Amino acid sequence: MLKQYSRFRGSLIPGLLVSVFLLILAFAIFFTLFDATGANKSTFLTLSPRVIGLLKFTIFQATLSTILSIIIGIILAWSLAHQSRFFARSLLIALFSSSLVLPTIIVVFGLITILGRNGWLNHLSLYLFNHTFEGFLYGLSGILIAHVYLNASYAARALLHSFEAIPKQRYKLAKSLGFSVFKRFILIEWPAIKQSVLSIASVVFLLTFTSFAIVLILGGNPSYNTLEVAIYEAVKLDFDISLALELAFLQLGISVILVFFSSNLKTNISNVKMQSLFIPWAEPLFVRFLQITIIFVSCVFFILPLIAIVFDGINADFIRILKSTIFIKSFSTSVIIASISSIITVVFTLFLSNARRNFALKSRISQSKVGKIIEFMISFSGSLYLAIPSLVLGLGFFLLSQKFIAPHLFWASFALLSANVLMSLPFSISVIYPSMLKTATRYDKLCFSLNISGFKRWIYCEWPFLKESIGYAIALSFCLSLGDLGIISLFGNQDFSTLPWYLYGLMGSYQNNDAAGVALILLGLTLSVFIFVPKIFAKENFVKG
């Protein structure tokens, strides 16, 4: 066994070092939070009624959001899978893929434009029926709508892969046996997608459990606060560090437990293009009508807020916005931080994935208890963001900045970079790791026989087959970092700001015209990077093809 470890030390050591570094970072944050409790450590054993109420609502809204997102995601994926021939299908699926990277504040801004007190729906309702929906978007209903907007489309896109992977022979068998649509779903489709449903549900629950920007803006009042928002208010508004620590430990404990049980589940994000499922016989007329209706309604629901951002944004005074010193600083900070964090994320992902695949292949390191422990450590370290929500991480860095004196720019930049890397890692790994595993399965024997290793193997075997996934991971990491509002909410000020924080300030001061312009710029930048960066990496393959 030692010979096996020694043989693959070149791929094991970098990944193990990254894994240990991430775990040390997590431990440092935890120790800082624990040390800050001082003599009040015993108070964390007894939760106050207020904290219990926050916990109940956080779990309640996350559970509801997950259930609704998964149900809608399954229905939409089922419809898309069985209606493989319609205009702009690939464009619609691409838009659904972008939901994961859309800045949450952009989504909130678009939903407010459509469903807010002064939104399009209220104006239309007032004109047609002389009735308005006051406060409809604020509170639990608004939180659920925004979460479903982001997560149902992500679930549908991920589940579509599972539907398209079902062998066509099973559908032929179902047809020959005269299965109804419902029976076909229960006996053929559900067994094929249920594992993916579990994986996606775990990710969606963790994302909604740690949701910040959506609850902060659409919560409406303290009764709809979650643990994440309560931490922000305790630090930023009340400077109640004791309460913030109590909330942080509670959220951290629950998140660690959730990630522990879901660390080996797939996040189901991929840039692999699969063949559309084409069944040579038509669905029953009613079922076909239902599927088309579901696709149309989902399309309108998803695209309308984006159209609203474009429609309102084009009327903004861009000359004044682009000349604004705060905008220039915010834009520069966002792009620089997102660029650096995306590069670090992909490098860390390559190291972790390269180390992890040694334990997944029988041709490399044989399974043992030690190997399983190392593999779990590597897998868990890549999912740390889900265990350490951004506001808890931010609170840790905030306390460190109070303990170790350094320029505000240093702590703010370091906190943002760390949070962005941790946030992007799980998704970047889910894109790159399957490709690395597939490459190793295909070319290990050839490389071993020809004694090709190290840099040569990377150039000739790895890079040609990984560059598309790497481009997609860079775009994904950049966009996720660009739209984050968590850490910056604790460190942001007039001298250090990002585009989401600047947009939040404009919305809070009711500068709607400027906010619309900044929202359009942020939306355009996000979609441009997400669409064109992967194409740049795939260009050589496209030309050769």
Q: Per residue in 502-516, pLDDT tens?
A: 999 998 888 888 999
Q: Is residue 522 within 8 Å of residue 500, measured between CB atoms?
A: yes
Please indicate, yes or no, if residue 216 is contained in any of the structural domains: yes
Could you give the angle at which helices 325-356 and 369-381 cross, rounded to 10 degrees? 170
Q: Tell me, what's the pLDDT at 361?
A: 75
Is residue 10, in this structure, part of any structural domain at all? Answer: no
Q: Hey, how many other C-beta atoms are within 10 angstroms of the C-beta on 167?
A: 10
pLDDT at residue 410 greater than cutoff 80: yes
User: Which residue would you say has higher pLDDT here, 184 or 540?
Assistant: 184
Asked if 247 and 392 touch (Cβ cutoff 8 Å), the reply is no
Residue 351 has pLDDT above 80, yes or no: yes
Q: In terms of pLDDT, which residue wins out, 490 or 352?
A: 352
HSE at residue 347, side-chain half, CA atoms within 13 A, is 10
Residue 167 has pLDDT above 90, yes or no: no
In this predicted structure, the answer to whether residue 266 has a pLDDT above a threshold of 60 is no
Q: Is the pLDDT of residue 270 over 70?
A: no
In angstroms, rounded to a whole number, what is the distance separating the alpha carbons of residues 322 and 325?
A: 8
* Token output for 479: 């966009």
Answer whether residue 20 is part of any domain: no
Name the helix (H) or strand (E) containing 358.
none
Establish if 462 belongs to a structural domain.
no
With respect to residue 73, please indicate whether it lies within any of the assigned structural domains: yes
Which residues are CB-contacts of 465 (< 8 A; sequence separation ≥ 6)? Answer: 435, 438, 439
pLDDT computed for residue 18 by the predictor: 93
- Cα 455 to Cα 133: distance, rounded to the nearest angstrom: 62
Q: Is the pLDDT of residue 243 over 70?
A: yes
Q: What pLDDT, on a 0 to 100 scale, did the predictor assign at position 8?
A: 66
The stretches of 357-498 forming alpha helices (DSSP H) are 369-381, 384-387, 390-403, 408-450, 454-457, 463-482, 488-491
What does the pLDDT read at residue 280?
Answer: 60
Nearest to 438 by CA among 472, 465, 468: 465
- Residue-wise pLDDT tens digits, 458-492: 888 888 888 889 999 999 999 999 988 888 888 88
Q: Pick from 276, 277, 195, 269: which is nearest to 435 by CA?
A: 269
> What does the alpha-carbon distance between residue 387 and residue 25 come to, in Å, rounded to a whole number?
12
Task: Specify the pTM.
Answer: 0.84
Q: What is the pLDDT of residue 264?
A: 52
pLDDT tens across 181-227, in order?
889 899 988 998 888 898 889 889 988 988 888 998 888 677 888 88
Please compute the mean of the pLDDT values over residues 295-319 and round it to a whole number. Answer: 91
Instruction: Report residue 198 as tokens.
Output: 């579990």
User: Mean pLDDT throughout 433-449?
Assistant: 84
- Using CB atoms within 10 Å of the CB of residue 56, give its burial: 0 to 12 exposed, 13 to 18 middle, 19+ buried: exposed
To the nearest whole percent, how much of the chain has pLDDT over 70?
Answer: 89
* Mean pLDDT across the chain: 84
Query: Half-sphere exposure (CA, 13 Å, Cβ side) for 283?
Result: 20
pLDDT value at residue 5:
63
Residue 257's SS3 state is: helix
d(CA 304, CA 302): 6
361 in a structural domain: no
Three-state DSSP class for residue 451: coil
Residue 336's pLDDT band (cuts 50, 70, 90): very high
Give me the domain span that covers residue 233. Answer: 48-313
Q: Are 123 and 450 in contact (CB under 8 A)?
A: no
Structure tokens at 61: 């809204």
**Alpha carbon 382 to its chain's center:** 14
- At residue 44, does pLDDT exceed 90? no
pLDDT at residue 152, as a whole number: 92
The mean pLDDT value for 10-17 works out to: 85
- Amino acid sitting at position 472: Y
Comparing CA positions, the residue from 98, 431, 91 lying closest to residue 269 is 431
Round to whole Å and give the CA distance between 66 and 198: 11
pLDDT-derived band at 543, boundaries 50, 70, 90: very low
Does a structural domain hold residue 355? no
- Give the three-class secondary structure for 46: coil
In a domain, 308, yes or no: yes
Q: How buried is residue 425: exposed, middle or buried, by Cβ count under 10 Å (0-12/13-18/19+)? A: buried
Residue 224 is predicted with a pLDDT of 87
Triad 502, 491, 530: Cα angle to 5°: 55
pLDDT band with cut points at 50, 70 and 90 for residue 452 = confident
| Domain harbouring 286, CATH code | 1.10.3720.10
Q: Provide the domain count of the chain.
A: 1
- Looking at residue 38, its pLDDT comes to 64
CA dist 32 to 279, 381, 486, Å? 58, 19, 19
Largest pairwise CA distance in the chain:
79
Which residue type occupies 163?
F
- Smallest CA-to-CA distance from 475 within 330, 309, 327, 269 is with 269
Q: Residue 342 — pLDDT band, cuts 50, 70, 90?
A: very high
Each as own residue / partner, the long-range contacts of residues 297-303 (CB below 8 Å, 24 or more positions apart, any chain) are 298/72, 298/76, 298/152, 298/153, 298/156, 299/92, 301/149, 302/95, 302/96, 302/99, 302/149, 302/153, 303/95
> Does the pLDDT of residue 47 top 50, yes or no?
yes
pLDDT of residue 542: 41
